[in-house]
A and B are shown apart, each in its own frame.
Chain A
């Protein structure tokens, strides 16, 4: 009886550790999409509203300034 109890405890422990070991791998995320744009490609034009109340159009900077377009994931997050 004791042996049987011991065996079931060992079995549970083994199953538990297997389950734990598998946990981190479980929520498998697909790879994030990669841009199809390449260095040398023309940048797609855009017109967007900004926090200063103005609207910015990429092509308005043509012939005037280089532009860095930095896309961050979401506001109120680390980056």
Chain B
């Protein structure tokens, strides 16, 4: 997700070859709700949120840490294993 328009994200997706849909927060409402809106620059700062099936935030990576997806992948694994283990 970014604050780019849908057409801009579509072109970007084509360029980098992503197969999953990219979300567009053109009105900046979601980046504001998630507290990552950079007012000076007008965009959302880099961040990754892992949200579980109950809608609860289970993991947050912010800034340059969020470039590396390993920690959120690890958190996903922990979450899915936990869910699988519980009755």
Contact = CB atoms under 8 A, between A and B. Distances in A.
Interface of A: 30, 32-46, 48-52, 54, 56, 58-59, 61-76, 79
B13 A39 contact: no
Interface in B29-45: 29-31, 33-40, 43-45
Contacts of B55: 42-43, 45, 58-59, 62
Interface residues of B, number: 55
Interface of B: 1-4, 6, 8-13, 15, 21-25, 29-31, 33-40, 43-60, 62-63, 66-67, 69, 72, 76, 79-80
B39 to A, nearest CB: 8
Centre residue among A41, A56, A75 by max chain B CB count within 10 A: A75
Q: Classify the secondary structure of B's interface with A.
A: mixed
Per DSSP, chain A at the interface is loop
Contact of A71 (B2, B10, B21): B2
A58 B1 CA distance: 12
A55 to B, nearest CB: 9
Given A44-B33, A74-B43, A75-B9, A68 B49 contact: yes
Contact of A41 (B11, B25, B56): B56
Given A48-B24, A62-B54, A43 B49 contact: yes
A76 B15 CA distance: 8
A58 to B, nearest CB: 7
A66 B23 CA distance: 17
A71 B86 CA distance: 30
